[in-house]
Amino acid sequence: MMGTLASFSTMAVAGRELAAAGTEPIQVSTYRALGGMVIVLFMLWHSHAGFSQLRTRRFPLHVVRNVFHFGAQFSWFVGLSLLPLATVFAVEFTIPMWSALLAVIFLAERFNLGRSVALGFGFIGVLIIVQPGSSVFDPTVFWVIAAAFGFAVSNIATKKLAPTETTYAIIFYMNLVQVPLGLSLSWNVWVWPVWSDAVWIIMVAGAGFTAHICLTQALRLADAIFVLPFDYLRLPLIAIVGFIFYDEVVGLALVGGALLIVFGNIFSIRYEARRNRALRETGT
């Protein structure tokens, strides 16, 4: 999880620096996909099972998942280029809220107390952060809300793919879909990078890949109830980064809204864990 936190923070800073150098967010998203494809092909070439891990009968679902994921990634990079880093990460914490809502709609899962609390506190937290109708309201935040929703759709699709697809297959098809999508959408704004951009491009691509690998491995080694709360350390970490490198100050509204979102998510995680444990104990 420390690797996951470092990866997301690194990708955010690299995306911000590329935007400051004049690179469009759609091109940054394409860099991430291109670099991810190179890395996953290298890993497959040197893995024991090799390319046999890519067999799939569910390619259409991979396409749907990764169109939404690419759109979410693009919106995230737009948000990073226009908003304080801590604001982007705080609003991004609504992903579990959207995921819970989508799971009820598409996976026939039921609403329960935990999910209702996460949804309610998440909605109130976002309102506190964005402060609609006030003089500080910035409509740019809708890019990040759209990103959170897109990542939630991607998570639901991943949950449906996970029983039959390998981790390598999910990551490979993500990049296979997103590389041509990114190239086709960015060709008219493409700016060839200069040498000073190289380090940021490598960081975007590498961190995008390691974030997925580290999170997957953490969930494989420990229960979600232990792993996922660590993800919320991203906010204070990125707030420190934003303060040191970009002179960004975190306001009380952001802190209060983020705490509500985090409380709702942690309550939901713990409620689900207690509920699952009770079901196991009763044998149902």
Task: Give the model's pLDDT for residue 136.
Answer: 67
Task: Give the model's pLDDT for residue 223.
Answer: 67
The first and second tokens of residue 211, run together, are 């974030």
- Give pTM, 2 decimals: 0.85
3-state secondary structure of 83: coil
Q: Positive or negative CA dihedral for 184, 185, 190, 195?
A: negative
* DSSP string for 148-210: HHHHHHHHHHHHHHTTTS-HHHHHHHHHHHHHHHHHHHHGGG--PPPGGGHHHHHHHHHHHHH
Task: Give the model's pLDDT for residue 228.
Answer: 67
Q: Which of 88-92, 136-140, 179-183 is the least confident region?
A: 136-140
Is the distance from CB of 268 to CB of 118 less than 8 angstroms? yes
Q: Positive or negative CA dihedral for 127, 261, 71, 234?
A: positive
Tell me how far apart the alpha carbons of residues 250 and 236 are, in angstroms, rounded to a whole number: 10
Q: How many CB atoms lie within 10 A of CB 34?
A: 18
Segment 180-189 mean pLDDT: 92
> DSSP letter at 110?
P
Angle at 212 between CA 246 and CA 116, to 5 degrees: 85
| Domain locations in the chain as residue ranges | 2-282
Residue 66 has pLDDT above 60, yes or no: yes
